[in-house]
Amino acid sequence: MKYNTFVQIFYKHRLLKAKKIRYILLKIFLPLIYIFNLIFDKKIIDLDDYSQKNQQLFKKDLNYLFEHFNSDKGEKFINQYQKPIKRTNEKVKGHNYHIFYENYLSKIKNSYLDILEIGSFRGNASAALYFYLPQSIITCVDLYPDLFLYKSKRIDNFYLNNSSEKEIEKKILKNEKKYDLVIEDAGHYYKDQIISLFKIFPKLKPNGIYVVEELDFPDTRLDMNLKNEHPTLKEILLSIKSNKDFHSSLISDDEKKFFLSNYNSIEILKGSFNNICFIKRNDTKT
């Protein structure tokens, strides 16, 4: 974890609120706090080496793997969003998304799959998918790629700001690669969810699956939709499921037309706390 990442994630809000003297003190002591936290941070794991010593993981179900690698997509996980120095081994309730993922992935788990994960954070879900989908190639993108705790010949990891159309265009759309599975688990903001889906959906292969986690955040959390804008992505998808028209300034006519002509199904499900959505592309090559 780089110093700037550490400050952005754990101290940005404090610096913004701090009065002059406190601000100065924070700026002075933050480098020391950062170094001290690095001592407690986890080291990078080479999954190719790790798998040689843990072959049994290739036979485990997805919930086991999510919990083993500490992803919040399973039943339980250790809070990964605290500073390294404050982390404990206490497990808290996860999103329980594993059931839904297995329903979609169990039949294709041994197929060669190209996966794009938007919002990889520490890489815990990616590590779980490495074992559950043993023939997969996983592309992981995040605002802070230096947080990623894993490496492998089957995993690529780089910077992407999915709130930027230009970034998506440059790093995803101009790439010739297409995907069998796209998992959008990034910032969950109103704009980000919409532009990510409608811009990246054409990059799905026939029968590909696009997943949106915490779909309901822009509807239920003010910090994810500061201007209370509508329609949210959830509202758009519900309109499509009901064969109703929709209009959004964030979606071009071509993007709308492509999506409506190429999606096969939309399923919105409820985990422990939030909605997750699975959108399947039809089997037509366009």
Whole-number Cα distances in Å, 188 to 155, 215, 216, 220: 23, 7, 9, 11
Average pLDDT of the residues of the chain = 95
Whole-number pLDDT of residue 16: 87
- So what's the pLDDT on residue 211? 98
Residue 226's pLDDT is: 94
Q: Across residues 199-223, what is the average pLDDT?
A: 97
User: Per-residue confidence at 82, pLDDT binned at 50, 70, 90?
Assistant: confident
Contact 195, 218 (CB under 8 A): no
Residues 118-166 pLDDT 10s? 999 999 999 999 999 999 999 999 999 999 999 999 999 999 999 999 9
Kindly report the backbone phi and psi dihedral angles of residue 94, in degrees, each rounded to the nearest multiple of 5, phi listed first. Answer: -95, -170
What is the radius of gyration, based on Cα positions, of the chain?
20
d(Cα 126, Cα 71) in Å, to the nearest integer? Answer: 9
Q: Which residues contact 251 (CB under 8 A, 6 or more apart)?
A: 194, 195, 198, 236
Q: Using CB atoms within 10 Å of the CB of residue 64, give its burial: 0 to 12 exposed, 13 to 18 middle, 19+ buried.
A: middle
Strand segments (E) across 129-262: 137-142, 150-151, 155-159, 179-184, 204-213
Q: Please report the pLDDT score of residue 243 as a whole number.
A: 96
How much is the average pLDDT of 194-208? 97
What is the reported pLDDT for 285?
Answer: 67
Q: How far is CA 285 from CA 116, 203, 229, in A?
A: 19, 11, 34
**CA separation for the pair 80, 202 (Å, rounded):** 33
Q: Which two tokens stand for residue 90?
A: 């206490």
Tell me what pLDDT residue 86 has.
86
Q: Taking residues 187-205, report their average pLDDT.
A: 97
Say what percent of the chain tops pLDDT 90: 84
The predicted structure's pLDDT at residue 206: 96
pLDDT (tens digit per residue) in 240-265 = 999 999 999 999 999 999 999 999 99
Confidence of residue 80 (pLDDT cuts 50, 70, 90): confident
- Residue 133: C-alpha distances to residues 5, 58, 275 (Å): 30, 8, 24
pLDDT at 286 > cutoff 80 = no
With a cut of 90, say whether residue 109 has pLDDT above it. yes
The pLDDT of 29-35, averaged and rounded, is 93
The model's pLDDT over 48-70, given as tens digits with 9 standing for 90+, comes to: 999 999 999 999 999 999 999 99
pLDDT at 208 over 80: yes
Q: What is the pLDDT of residue 134?
A: 97
User: What is the mean pLDDT of the segment spanning 70-87?
Assistant: 90
